[in-house]
C-alpha cells in the first residue's frame, strides 16, 4: 500500500502500485469500448454555480482562483467533485455535435473536500459510463448500463461482487402510499441507513417531522426487503397490505422487476434487489445502483449511479440518461492494502542491458534500439559496474533478463530468475510472452 503522504486524502502510488492501477484502467477501457462507449475528457474546473446546481455538497467543493485574481472579473471556479455534473454541461454545450443515444465513458481525477478515511480520498480517480438520449431514452438502457459495468468488474481480478439495485420511483411511490409527503427528506435519511443504523434514521425522520413513528417504521421495513429474483414485488405488496398503491410505486415496481430479471439473464448471480438503496444526490429519478465487494462490505460501494431524467436540458430539449461510476482509487486502495493484486515487477522493462565499461554505452544503446524496434521494453545501464552489482540492480526492479555483449561482439542474455544464459541476437531475440510486460497477479492464488 502507498505510504502516508504529507497531504492526507491524496494518494501517491509507488511504481509497482501504479502498474496495478494502469492494469485496472486499461481493462475498464477495453470493456467499455467493446460495448460501444466512446471516451471523452472534460475540463477539471467548472463554475461554482454549475457545481451547486445538483445536490448540496458545497462544503466539499474546492474553489480555484489565481493568487492575484481581481475579484468580480470572472466567474468563480472550482474543481469538479464528480464527472456527472460536468458531463451534463458537456452534453448541453456539444449537443449539436453528438449522435444520440450517446454512449460515453470518462476516466479522470475528481476532488472532494471530505474527511479522509479508509476508502475515501480528497483526490481520486473515477471511471464513468453513461447512456444519454435526446428527449427520451429507452428504459432498457438501465439494464444495459448494469450489464456493461458487471462485465467490466468481472474482467478485474477483484473477487466476488454484487450489484445492489433499487428504483427511486418504487421508494417514493411507497412513501406516498403510506401518506408521506416530503419524500426527498425520507430518501436522504434512508440513504444513511448503513452508516448510522435504523434507530437513528427513525429518530431523524420523526424529529424532523418528515414521518410519524409508524410511517418511519414502515419506511424502514421497506428498506429491509432483499431478493436475488423478482420476489421483492410480492414482498412490497404484502407490506402495503390493504393500502392502495400509488401510481409511482407501480411504475417503480415494474421497472425494477425488469432490471432484475434481465440482469439475471445477462450476468447471473450479480444482482440483488435491495430496497434500502436510495442514493443521496437529487438528480436520480429511477433505477439506482450500488456495488459491494463480497467480504469487503465495510468499504462501501465501489460502483454506483442510476437513472436521471432531467440532469441536462437546453431550451425545450432534455437529455435523460443513466450512468454508473467506479471509484477506481477506492477499489485499488483496498486491493493493494490486502495484497489481493500485485505486479510481477516494478518497471515495464523486460531487459536490462549491462555494460563492461563506460565506453560500451553507445553499443549498449544500439542493442536497446534493436530490441525496442521490435516492441521490447529495455533499460540500459548508466555506468559500468561489476556485473554482480548490475544484476542485483535488475533483480531489485524485477527485470527478468540481463543482456551482455562480449569483447568479440557476441551477445548473451541471462534469465536472472533461473540463472540460464544463452547466445542471443538483438535483431531476432524475443522474451516469452509472459515476460514481455509486467503481469498483474492475484497474490492469494498465484
Where is 368: in which H helix or E strand?
helix 361-372
Instruction: Please check if 279 is assigned to a binding site.
Output: yes
Contacts for 64 with CB less than 8 Å, ≥ 6 apart? 45, 77, 78, 79
- Residue among 361, 416, 363 nearest 391 (CA): 416
Strands (E), 315-446: 317-327, 341-343, 351-353, 378-380, 401-405, 411-415, 421-423, 440-442
Query: CA-CA distance, 359 to 155, in Å (whole number)?
Result: 48
Cell digits of residue 208: 424532523
Contact of 79 with 40, CB cutoff 8 Å: no
pLDDT tens, residue by residue, 341-378? 889 999 999 999 999 999 999 999 999 999 999 999 99
**pTM of the predicted structure, to 2 decimals:** 0.88
421-423 sheet: strands from edge to edge: 378-380, 351-353, 401-405, 411-415, 421-423
pLDDT tens, residue by residue, 182-241? 988 898 899 888 889 999 999 999 999 999 999 999 999 999 999 999 999 999 999 999
Query: CA-CA distance, 368 to 380, in Å (whole number)?
Result: 7
Q: Which fold does the domain 15-40+97-340 belong to in CATH?
A: BirA Bifunctional Protein; domain 2 (3.30.930)
Instruction: Please check if 118 is assigned to a binding site.
Output: no
pLDDT tens, residue by residue, 81-135? 999 999 999 999 999 999 999 999 999 999 998 877 766 789 999 999 999 999 9
* Helices and strands per DSSP (H, E), number in the chain: 15, 19
pLDDT tens, residue by residue, 261-280? 999 999 999 999 999 998 76
pLDDT tens, residue by residue, 129-185? 999 999 999 999 999 999 999 999 999 878 899 999 999 999 999 999 999 999 888
Q: What per-residue confidence (pLDDT) applies to 56?
A: 53
Instruction: Please check if 369 is assigned to a binding site.
Output: no
Confidence band for 393, pLDDT divided at 50, 70 and 90: very high
Instruction: Please check if 289 is assigned to a binding site.
Output: no
Instruction: Please check if 421 is assigned to a binding site.
Output: no
Where is 431: in which H helix or E strand?
none
Where is 288: in which H helix or E strand?
strand 287-293
Q: Which fold does the domain 351-442 belong to in CATH?
A: Rossmann fold (3.40.50)
Instruction: Please check if 168 is assigned to a binding site.
Output: no
Cell digits of residue 116: 479522509
Query: CA-CA distance, 208 to 200, in Å (whole number)?
Result: 12
Instruction: Please check if 274 is assigned to a binding site.
Output: no
In the chain, domain spans:
15-40+97-340, 351-442
Higher pLDDT, residue 298 or 207 = 207
Amino acid at each position: 500500500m502507498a505510504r502516508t503522504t504529507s497531504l492526507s486524502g491524496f494518494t501517491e502510488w509507488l511504481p509497482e502500485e501504479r502498474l496495478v492501477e494502469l492494469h485496472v484502467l486499461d481493462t475498464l477501457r477495453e470493456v467499455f469500448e467493446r460495448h460501444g462507449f466512446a471516451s471523452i475528457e472534460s475540463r477539471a474546473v467548472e463554475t461554482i454555480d454549475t457545481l451547486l446546481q445538483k445536490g448540496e455538497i458545497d462544503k466539499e467543493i474546492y474553489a480555484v482562483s489565481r493568487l492575484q485574481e481581481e475579484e468580480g472579473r470572472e466567474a468563480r471556479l472550482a474543481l469538479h467533485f464528480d464527472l456527472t455534473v460536468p458531463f451534463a454541461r458537456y452534453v448541453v454545450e456539444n449537443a449539436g455535435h453528438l449522435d444520440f443515444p450517446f454512449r460515453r465513458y470518462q476516466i479522470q481525477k475528481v476532488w472532494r473536500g471530505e474527511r479522509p478515511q479508509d476508502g475515501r480520498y480528497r483526490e481520486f480517480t473515477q471511471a464513468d459510463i453513461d447512456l444519454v438520449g435526446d428527449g427520451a431514452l429507452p428504459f432498457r438502457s438501465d439494464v444495459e448500463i448494469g450489464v456493461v459495468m458487471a462485465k467490466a468488474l468481472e474482467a478485474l481480478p477483484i473477487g466476488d461482487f454484487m450489484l445492489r439495485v433499487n428504483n427511486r420511483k418504487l421508494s417514493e411511490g411507497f412513501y406516498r402510499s403510506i401518506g408521506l409527503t416530503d419524500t426527498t427528506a425520507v430518501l436522504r435519511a434512508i440513504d444513511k441507513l448503513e452508516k448510522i443504523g435504523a434507530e437513528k434514521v427513525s429518530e431523524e425522520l420523526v424529529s424532523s417531522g418528515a414521518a410519524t413513528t409508524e410511517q418511519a417504521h414502515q419506511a424502514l421495513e421497506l428498506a429491509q426487503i432483499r431478493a436475488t429474483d423478482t420476489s421483492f414485488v410480492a414482498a412490497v405488496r404484502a407490506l402495503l397490505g390493504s393500502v392502495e398503491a400509488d401510481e409511482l410505486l407501480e411504475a417503480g415496481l415494474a421497472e425494477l422487476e425488469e432490471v432484475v430479471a434481465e440482469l439475471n439473464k445477462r450476468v447471473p448471480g450479480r444482482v440483488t434487489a435491495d430496497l434500502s438503496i436510495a442514493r443521496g444526490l437529487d438528480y436520480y429519478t429511477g433505477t439506482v445502483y450500488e456495488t459491494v465487494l463480497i467480504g469487503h462490505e465495510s468499504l462501501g460501494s465501489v460502483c454506483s449511479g442510476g437513472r436521471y431524467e432531467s440532469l441536462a436540458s437546453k431550451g425545450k430539449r432534455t437529455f435523460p440518461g443513466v450512468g454508473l461510476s467506479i471509484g477506481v482509487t477506492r477499489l485499488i486502495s483496498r486491493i493493494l492494502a490486502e495484497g489481493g493484486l500485485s505486479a510481477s515487477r516494478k518497471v515495464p522493462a523486460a531487459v536490462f542491458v549491462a555494460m563492461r565499461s563506460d565506453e560500451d554505452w553507445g553499443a549498449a544503446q544500439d542493442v536497446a534500439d534493436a530490441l525496442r524496434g521490435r516492441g521490447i521494453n529495455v533499460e540500459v545501464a548508466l555506468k559500468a559496474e561489476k556485473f554482480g552489482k548490475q544484476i542485483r540492480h535488475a533483480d531489485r526492479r524485477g527485470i527478468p533478463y540481463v543482456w551482455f555483449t562480449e569483447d568479440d561482439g557476441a551477445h548473451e542474455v541471462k534469465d536472472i530468475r533461473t540463472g540460464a544464459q544463452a547466445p542471443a541476437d538483438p535483431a531476432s531475440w524475443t522474451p516469452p510472452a509472459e515476460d514481455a510486460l509486467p503481469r498483474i497477479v492475484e497474490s492469494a492464488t498465484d
